[in-house]
Chains A and B, each alone.
Chain A
Amino acid sequence: MRHRRRPVPLLITVLVVGVCLFTGVALAETVFVQGKTAKLRSGKTSLDSVVADLKFGEALEVLRREGNWLEVQTASGVKGWVFANKTMTAKPAEGDDDLAKLGKSFRRKDAADVTASAGARGLDKVAEGYARRVGIIQQHRDAVDRMAAYRMSEQEVEDFLKEGGLGEYAK
């Protein structure tokens, strides 16, 4: 009474591959933005105009590859070129995993207390309390404050890469 079911999936596979070959349809390759941001350009050089700003983790369909550049299409249908090093084949994990996000949500009130007291400074109520207990001098507390308050725009970093001829700005 054994049923021979094996030929069915085999048949489907043969049909799919056959249709793809016949119609010339290739299975689309998807890559994901791996940097915090990336620029989608109208051409495959850093001198070409920016068509769109891409976000971390955004899925892109690869249309073709040329050297270090990929021609891609976004989910909203915008086409352009992205520097290949700014993409990866596996979907990147979120910065905080799901469990951490749940934990964060569960501790919302607690976190609000901390950020309210911290403002833009590095040391919150808890870290300040620790500094007092272990006798960290004010100079070192100020150093952590300054460190945390130090801001750098993405444009500054972009200009820095350009000046150094790095990544998509390679000479």
Chain B
Amino acid sequence: MQSNLFRTIGPVLALVTIGAWGGCAEVQRAAEDAARRSGDERLAKVIHGGGTLVSGLMPIGYEEERSIGAAIALQVIARYGGVYDQPDLTRYVNLVGHAVALTCDRPDIPYHFAVLNHDSINAFAAPGGYIFVTRGLLKQVRNEAELAAVLGHEIAHVSQKHILEVIQRSKRLAGITEAGLAYANQNPDMFKGLIDAAAKKLLDEGLDQDKELEGDSLGDLFAARVGYDPTAYVSLLTRLRAAKGDDRAFFKSHPNFSTRIGAVQEVIQMHGWKATGVLVEDRFTRLRGRL
């Protein structure tokens, strides 16, 4: 009996699997409808379940990422005093950010940059390319090369999908196997739970050490590709260490400044980069006055 059932369902499941992985949701629906029309409700349910299971294993696509990013961006803005609305400054930060984003490893999605009206020294990235830097951090920055590296660090979190990994893990733990945003439409509380957990990780706990160090290394690389002095980021991190103390990194889970400086220096050494003096201080200083 069991082997008969397997013989019947096995090929159907295989077809559904192939169909789903091949992006053919229509094939799955057609098979499901055909099974239902023939009166085999059990088979229809198996086909539906097979498609759902397979799609739940899929990585998060860009459309879903964009919705998740917008929801997290709302939390960031609400928690950090809103956006500092100074048109010249917004344009400047966007220009530097876009220059870096165009050379990153994921340049084919739009990136959006904003200044948060907050005195703390911080920067955040939400999925879908939403990037924030606080007024407090901008006050610590001395030139455009340093700003480019800070934005590069955040761009790296987006390009490497660091927050999305957190969401993907939470989705699996919550048993969400529905594809795309269907779960969010059907169960808004579940979506809220995922976003709240991701925002907590981003804003209260901080990402894991390896992700932060990868952000530092790639951020410096992206800024260097634009043409900025690769040693500028080391200067900024060294100054922050002096101002805040080595053990007072942004979050408990963050690596301390000495570890971060070491990671960036390693990248500089690996590429054989030298200080170039391309810091672009003038126009940064002009815009800094808008803070």
Residues of A within 8 A of B (CB): 34-37, 56, 85-86, 92-97, 99-111, 113-115, 122-127, 129-131, 133-134, 136-137, 139-141, 143-144, 146-148, 150, 152, 154, 156-157, 160-161, 163-170
Contacts and interface: CB of A to CB of B under 8 A. Distances in A.
Contact of B71 (A94, A106, A130, A165): A130
A164 B279 CA distance: 9
Given A126-B185, A152-B95, A108 B192 contact: no
A164 B144 contact: yes
Given A110-B182, A147-B112, A147-B114, A104 B94 contact: no
Contacts of A164: 144, 280, 283
A76 B147 CA distance: 39
Given A35-B103, A140-B77, A56 B108 contact: yes
Interface size range of chain B in the complex: 35 or more
A124 B70 contact: yes
B203 interface: no
A106 B188 contact: no
A93 B105 contact: yes
Instruction: List 5 A-B pairs, minimum CB-CB distance, nearest first.
Output: A105-B23, A107-B180, A103-B58, A104-B61, A111-B63
7 contacts: A111-B64, A124-B67, A126-B191, A137-B78, A163-B283, A165-B280, A166-B226
A135 to B, nearest CB: 9
Contacts, number: 201
A167 B73 contact: no
A57 to B, nearest CB: 9
B144 A143 contact: no
A114 B70 contact: no
Interface in B168-205: 179-182, 184-185, 188-189, 191-192, 195-196
Nearest to B92: A160
